[in-house]
Amino acid sequence: MTKIIGAENLTKTYNVIKAVDHISFSVEEGELFGFLGPNGAGKTTTIKMLTTLAAITEGRATVAGFDVTKDPAEVRKAIGIIPQELTADDELKGIENLLLAAKLHHVPGDKARGKALSLMQLFELEGAAQRRVKTYSGGMRRRLQLAMGLIHDPKLLFLDEPTLGLDVQTRQNMWAYIRKLNREDGITVFMTTHYLEEADSLCDRIAIVDCGIIKASGSPSELKSRLSGNVLTLQLMDGADASGLIRNVQDVTEVVKEGETYKIKLEKTERALPAIVEAVTAKGLKISDISLAKPTLDQVFLQITGNAMRDGPATGDSYGQRVLIERLK
């Protein structure tokens, strides 16, 4: 495997605010790598540095074998960028937007049309190719945006919040496209998202970022296994406190009693679960309800980033954000 993105101590400071704070990571060729974090975590700033749109304050980054600061022109040739904003021109037709993107990426004219048409087909936009983009739905605009980023056959694609504002069905479709680009066409994908299920479903590896720092990284299953085991919820019929009894069972790490309900953290579920049931029934206590929950990425995420609301100052342009919302309607 070859490293296609390498970041060492990457830092971005706006005035005194550290938007990205000495992060280091690497992405291998062919990977689908996700940057997961709450709003304002530094995800977009990181993408901007890697795609030459923001100057690096400290540290260095290489993308597709080129130093981002020293060789920005080469980096731009090698990558495709799908920004959060919908930048296709409303007044131009879908196909015109694609052909313009082709020209700006110096795709030869004879190749460009063929490539544009095949991308229109791939993203199921061929019927709308001759329509002006202002008549497109939010999902169609996102697909067109994806096509525009792929017109020059980049080997590395940066996706910034690719499903932001889309409904559930359209989101699932986008996931299928992204998966296909990665698995079938071999395009390395670096994406940011604040949707946990998106990262869980799509990414080979995830870095959880918060406050400009990478808090954890690994495959979704590795991250989930970091949460100590499963959580058993047990409800008993009568009021006797069984906490001590349950706590004594091997592989039980924590017991919290809420009324008649016990939340029990388990290390080895297959051993602990029957032992708990046995211990409780042996004491003559009756179980009224029992359920087992596997840790979700949500729990990992909340454990790592905390529950605090992120209502910091807006980082983007508010006018642009409003237009984005309008366009996605």
Per CB under 8 A, residues contacting another protein are 51-55, 72-73, 76-77, 79, 81, 83-87, 89, 91-92, 96, 100-101, 103-106, 148, 317, 319-320, 323
Report the DSSP beta bridge partners of residue 262.
234, 257
- 14 or 225: whose CB is closer to another protein? 14
- 45 or 217: whose CB is closer to another protein? 45
- 101 or 129: whose CB is closer to another protein? 101
Taking the complex as a whole, how short is the minimal distance between the CB of residue 287 and another protein, in angstroms? 56
Confirm if 324 and 84 have CB atoms less than 8 A apart.
Answer: yes
The DSSP call for residue 285 is: P
Confirm if 121 and 168 have CB atoms less than 8 A apart.
Answer: no
**How many other CB atoms sit within 10 Å of the CB of residue 159?**
27
Q: Where are the alpha helices (DSSP H) in 90-131?
A: 94-104, 109-122
The CA-based dihedral angle spanning residues 146, 148, 154, 157, taken in that order and rounded to the nearest 10 degrees: -30
Taking the complex as a whole, how short is the minimal distance between the CB of residue 185 and another protein, in angstroms? 20
- 312 or 320: whose CB is closer to another protein? 320
Confirm if 196 and 298 have CB atoms less than 8 A apart.
Answer: yes
Distance of CA 96 to the CA centre of its chain: 30
- 83 or 220: whose CB is closer to another protein? 83
- 105 or 155: whose CB is closer to another protein? 105
- 38 or 154: whose CB is closer to another protein? 154
Taking the complex as a whole, how short is the minimal distance between the CB of residue 125 and another protein, in angstroms? 18
Taking the complex as a whole, how short is the minimal distance between the CB of residue 19 and another protein, in angstroms? 12
- 78 or 279: whose CB is closer to another protein? 78
Angle between helix axes 138-150 and 94-104 (nearest 10 degrees) is: 30
Taking the complex as a whole, how short is the minimal distance between the CB of residue 320 and another protein, in angstroms? 5
Confirm if 147 and 122 have CB atoms less than 8 A apart.
Answer: yes
Taking the complex as a whole, how short is the minimal distance between the CB of residue 158 and another protein, in angstroms? 9
The DSSP call for residue 93 is: B
Taking the complex as a whole, how short is the minimal distance between the CB of residue 198 and another protein, in angstroms? 21
Taking the complex as a whole, how short is the minimal distance between the CB of residue 69 and another protein, in angstroms? 9
Which residue, chain included where needed, has tokens 């071999």? 186
CA nearest to 97, candidates 141, 67, 53, 63: 141
CA nearest to 190, candidates 200, 204, 177, 180: 204
Exposure on the CB side of residue 42, measured as CA atoms within 13 A: 24
Backbone angles phi, psi at 219, to 5 degrees: -75, 160
CA distances from 317 to 78, 82, 93, 243, 320 (A): 28, 17, 26, 53, 5
